[in-house]
Amino acid sequence: MTIIRLGYVAMSMELKNASPSKTMTFTNFQKIDDREAAIRKLEQIALTNLENTLRLLKHNVFHEIHFYRLTSRLIPLATHEALLDWDYITPIKDRLREVGEYATNKGIRIDFHPDHFVVLNSDKKEVFINSVKNLKLHKSLLNGMGINPTHRCVLHVGGRYQETEKSLERFVDNWMDVPRGIQEMIMLENDDKSFTLDDTLYLCEKLGIPLVFDYHHHLAHHYNEQWEENWERVIATWKYSPLPIKMHISSPKSLAEFRHHSDYVDVDMFFRFLKEIKGTVPQIDCMIEAKKKDEALFTLMNEIKKRDDIEVIDGSTFNIK
């Protein structure tokens, strides 16, 4: 048997007025004449985001959800070039610690998926430098929460730039300039347009990075349709991780818009994957990337409970027989 744990991304459809991604544009920041007052405003927004994150974690505990992706927008403008002198961690350190301690005490696995502009294989030095800066922010947040940063940030490989092989090798070259502490945070995901499972496995095996398999992405973009042939290799990339193997699940919006995520998860599509991997790992944590967030998780669990090939453990966890 294999234990399956479901999680969701950032926002709740059920919990009202609990956005953890409230923000301020730099344009609005500049409109405040007193720069220190403007910075205090940013800090207050960050504190509100963390308060809402704690509310979301409590919501998760109530519903027996043990896996949750934090938003990367907890602190607005944290890496903006005009605010490099801003110590954004100190004013929120108590709230950060509170969030981290709650997640740890309740056994919730939390991680990040930094935004698309974090590109480690960029051919532009400025983009690479800003990407590392953004990842340092994520590491500071995890450290502030008292959470081991190892394998807590999932990234796409980056840009293909018309040449897959050269783009992969550029990732390897640039990786050598990524600080060791940042390297240890990273997981890589196959994507739906540029880098297939095979491409991503090449990097993960070469550099010792865990691979987060996205089944929907694979169906949208692959060379080798038989992903099952590479599953043992995917498992092996997690050999030295302190965390269970992780994957992403979502379903196509439609045949015409296959790459786009649907509101919910197609249970039959999900179980086609699960039936192939059952028994190969003791546990797999599945991050739902559906438009309806936690509502998609609840809907999926309700459908799963009707099946006779599973054993329900709790509100988001089950064994596949």
We report the CATH number of the domain holding residue 202 as 3.20.20.150
Residues 62 and 65: their CA atoms lie apart, in Å, by: 8
* 72 domain-assigned: no
How far is C-alpha 196 from the chain's CA centre? 18
Q: Show which of 181, 211, 243 is a domain's final residue.
A: 243
* 202 domain-assigned: yes
- The CA-atom distances, in angstroms, between 192 and each of 128, 158, 252, 316 are 22, 12, 11, 27
Residues 102 and 271: their CA atoms lie apart, in Å, by: 32
State whether 119 and 236 are in the same domain: yes
Closest CA to 227 of 213, 237, 212: 213
* 107 domain-assigned: no
Q: What is the dihedral of CA 196, 189, 22, 131, to 10 degrees?
A: -90
* 75 domain-assigned: no
Structure tokens at 130: 């800003």
Q: Residue 263 CB: number of other CB atoms within 10 A?
A: 14
Q: What is the CA angle 261-266-268, rounded to 5?
A: 145
Q: Show which of 190, 220, 243 is a domain's final residue.
A: 243
State whether 254 and 206 are in the same domain: no
State whether 195 and 252 are in the same domain: no
State whether 198 and 312 are in the same domain: no
State whether 237 and 117 are in the same domain: yes
Whole-model pTM?
A: 0.95
User: Structural domain tally of the chain?
Assistant: 2
* 91 domain-assigned: no
Residue 289: domain span: 1-63+245-321
* pLDDT (0 to 100) of residue 255: 86
Residues 221 and 266: their CA atoms lie apart, in Å, by: 19
State whether 154 and 257 are in the same domain: no
128: Cβ–Cβ under 8 A, 6 or more apart, which residues? 119, 120, 122, 174, 177
Cβ neighbourhood burial of 47 (10 Å; 0-12, 13-18, 19+)? middle
* 19 domain-assigned: yes
State whether 121 and 216 are in the same domain: yes
Backbone angles phi, psi at 79, to 5 degrees: -110, 15
227 within 8 A of 280, measured Cβ to Cβ = no
Tell me 229's DSSP state.
Answer: G
Q: Show which of 243, 261, 279 is a domain's final residue.
A: 243
Residues 110 and 104: their CA atoms lie apart, in Å, by: 9
- The CA-atom distances, in angstroms, between 126 and each of 119, 120, 133, 297, 316 are 11, 11, 11, 39, 42
State whether 252 and 227 are in the same domain: no
Secondary element (H or E) of residue 8: strand 2-9
State whether 192 and 304 are in the same domain: no
* 18 domain-assigned: yes
* 74 domain-assigned: no
State whether 266 and 311 are in the same domain: yes
| The residue count for the chain | 321
State whether 208 and 157 are in the same domain: yes
Residues 310 and 321: their CA atoms lie apart, in Å, by: 5
State whether 256 and 227 are in the same domain: no
Per-10-residue mean pLDDT of the chain, 321 residues long, equals 96 96 95 94 98 98 98 95 94 97 98 95 95 97 98 96 93 97 98 95 98 95 85 97 97 88 96 96 97 98 96 97 85
